Amino acid sequence: MHAPVKTAVSGGVGSLVLDRPNALNALDLRMVRELRTALEAWRADEAVRAVVVRSASPKAFCSGGDIRAVREAALRGDASAVREYFASEYGLNAAVAEYPKPYVALIDGYALGGGLGISVHGAVRVVTERAGLAMPETAIGFFPDIGASFFLPRLRGRTGWYLGLTGRRISGAAAVECGLATHYVHSGDLAALERELTATGGERLAEVLGRHAAVPPASELAGHREAIDHCFAADSLNGVFERLTADGGDWARQTLAELRSASPSALHVTFELLRRGARPAASLADCLDLELRTACRMAATRDFAEGVRAALVDKDRRPTWDLAQLDTVRGWFEQ
């Protein structure tokens, strides 16, 4: 049977290779469990001094969680399966964030949704010119989870709010600029970087990274920094729409179009979770706990079923959102 996660230890470095190419490495429950099992086994293993996670495919690092399987479980009324998946995934995210050894993610290709959950929480996030990062959940009637309500508000300026609400995909250069990534390395140099990490036994990490890191080019966010910080600093979702409308420029009109195509319920939930996660006293554990409760509720909604259908099942990209659902999700945060 083909192993979707390949593990190995060489020269003091534990290697996690995602290898589910037909699904663009979408994380199913088996992959989540295998990643967590390997990390726990290496945690106290003195022979392992660092961990590297990468993809076997240049097309995608990880396209996200296996959200189709979650939808199927929700449609058959299997709430326990839905909760088991999200609880396992968020447990893995927390394990990465708390890992006592250097955890290095090599992102060459797409890293979407859950793909950020197994990379952004780590100490080192290397991206290339082929990288594309996004939290696109509002387009499928869901919200940016995997701890995004904690890390998105802590990106530069209001970039996290912009990315979380619109689902906009950004380049590796933009990821370094805003703080999602820590290093920019040309894709052709990744193999040499990994070989040197292994040759040095996972030690002198900063030195090795410094030898391979390149200066990223100007990113697509650079020209919109002021507008992003102004429009997405509004204290309400309606305020964001109002500021974008008042701006009137091409970027603002495109951003409005992206927001208007998303699920209204998902936008409301996302804004509320980001608002709570931005509080100085909020911890990753707090955010993951609230996200778990919200995910289990959201997975049972019509918008989630419809959004996943339109994006991943029928692929017609024409979801019909349930506007009446908005009152229901508002009530979740008034209790």
- CA dist list (Å): 23 to 19, 29, 61, 118, 142: 9, 13, 11, 17, 20
Catalytic residue among 28, 89, 145, 303: 145
Whose structure tokens read 């909604």? 301
Give me the residues paired with residue 55 across strands.
18
Catalytic residue among 108, 137, 303, 306: 137
Q: Which one, of 116, 29, 21, lies nearest residue 72 by Cα?
A: 29
Catalytic annotation on 137? yes
CA distance 29 to 36: 11
Q: Which residues contact 261 (CB under 8 A, 6 or more apart)?
A: 139
Q: Which residues contact 13 (CB under 8 A, 6 or more apart)?
A: 48, 49, 50, 51, 52, 197, 198, 201, 202
Give me the residues paired with residue 10 across strands.
13
CA angle at residue 266 from 264 to 267, to 5 degrees?
Answer: 65
Whose structure tokens read 């967590």? 36
Catalytic residue among 65, 117, 164, 277: 65
Catalytic annotation on 114? yes
- Longest CA–CA span in the chain (Å) reads 58
Tokens of 264: 């209204």
Which phi and psi (to 5°) does residue 47 adopt? -75, -15
For the beta carbon of residue 323, count every other beta carbon within 10 angstroms.
11
Q: Where are the beta strands (DSSP E) in the chain?
A: 5-10, 13-18, 50-55, 60-62, 103-107, 110-112, 124-127, 132-134, 170-171, 183-184
Catalytic annotation on 210? no
Tokens of 68: 């189709």
Catalytic residue among 64, 114, 122, 307: 114
Which phi and psi (to 5°) does residue 45 adopt? -85, 110
Catalytic annotation on 249? no
Residues that are catalytic: 65, 114, 137, 145
